[in-house]
Chain A
């Protein structure tokens, strides 16, 4: 929850004349299969400092107003990738989105990410997402004997795939992709980003296999360059560029 600042400890925040608190409406898409087969928008009005994050607001609602509100979060600091959600129609991490940045004057909509089965409220079934991740073999593949020491790499070789090492598997990109919304067989940007991380790693020798996997029907050629993934990525990864680099590697491999 909110970290109280030193001068506010023990005082009723709304009583102070210089109170930073404002009233914000959160319009949350609720779904509970044990009650109804239909999802519904529900409004919560809470007093909150706009410098806090959407995740703090969700905590406030869950802890003080309605304990049945269901969402995932773990680290609360943009690292674990568990709280990607669609906030005001855009995929973001609730723990990295400041309320003041998304116009708290109007109701702030919060809903589950699209293209995956909603299990309850903001929680989706991530299995198909991780299946695509597994299918690109996101681990080091090497041949021959293990070296007796680390596998060394130059700074330039490390730099080549630096961007795609930053992925936290939050699914914000994949669930913002219109091709994925319509056809879940598409690998999706996150799987391609994580394949890219190994394809362009000088120490890895499984690049050929991964390129072959992504060369297929449901691989990179389904990408339509809409840039939704790049816009959505909370880690600032240039997702569309990574996909394009895989496409280029496939073409230059042929010609």
Chain B
């Protein structure tokens, strides 16, 4: 039977940097598991985080889609939104609670989702730590600021 191959491996001419006694470095996978991999923390945090993603997701379907419908579709769409429109809605406790729930759920849901993304992609422990600190700071700041505005909103400021 006829057999042929093309393109042999390695450099034919010139000196190779690597040989049997000096092999090239192999490419290790990120954060590979070894016998020294830290043992668990024995908490249920990851389980609650997983459940929260699913439960908050279900509630967010209603909150976010309702929000988008009201803001962007009904009553003339986006052009109606202005200071008066917001002031009018936040005069009602129902919409205050709606927006508050949406703020907290979306922020915590999004923050936890980004925590997952950081866990997936950041390789060095230091990078992971600082990215998460940045994330948590931004989340706390946004949630607190939003909550403050919803509760202290003054329709009469000029």
Contact = CB atoms under 8 A, between A and B. Distances in A.
B10 A118 contact: no
Interface string A24-39: 0000001011111100
A215 B44 contact: yes
A171 B3 CA distance: 32
Given A216-B40, A217-B41, A118 B26 contact: yes
A186 to B, nearest CB: 8
Contacts of A151: none
A128 B23 contact: no
Contact of A128 (B8, B33, B46): B33
Contacts of B24: 33-37
Contacts of A30: 9
A119 B34 CA distance: 17
A33 B46 contact: no
A215 B46 contact: yes
Given A217-B40, A219-B46, A36 B18 contact: yes
Interface in B1-37: 1-11, 16-20, 23-35, 37
Main SS of the interface on chain B? loop
Contacts of A247: 50
B32 A117 contact: yes
Contacts of A254: 44, 47
A13 B27 CA distance: 43
B41 A117 contact: no
On chain B, which size bracket covers the interface? Answer: 35 or more
A185 B37 contact: yes
A46 B29 contact: no
A46 B46 contact: no
Given A43-B7, A131-B34, A131-B37, A34 B18 contact: yes
A33 B18 contact: yes
Contact of A184 (B7, B8, B25, B32): B32
B85 interface: no
A145 interface: no
Given A219-B46, A251-B51, A46 B26 contact: no
Contacts of B1: 13-14, 21, 46-47, 64
A216 B37 contact: no
A1 to B, nearest CB: 12
Contacts of A131: 33-35, 37
A131 B34 CA distance: 6
A42 interface: yes
A219 B156 CA distance: 53
Given A40-B7, A42-B6, A44-B3, A221 B25 contact: no
28 contacts: A33-B24, A33-B26, A35-B16, A35-B24, A36-B10, A36-B16, A36-B18, A37-B25, A46-B3, A60-B3, A64-B1, A117-B27, A118-B27, A119-B26, A128-B32, A128-B33, A131-B33, A135-B33, A179-B120, A183-B30, A183-B31, A185-B31, A215-B40, A217-B40, A218-B37, A222-B46, A222-B119, A254-B47
Interface of B: 1-11, 16-20, 23-35, 37, 40-42, 44, 46-47, 49-51, 119-121
Interface of A: 13-14, 21, 30, 32-37, 40, 42-47, 60-61, 64-66, 115-119, 125, 127-128, 131-132, 135, 179, 181-185, 212-213, 215-219, 221-222, 247, 250-251, 254
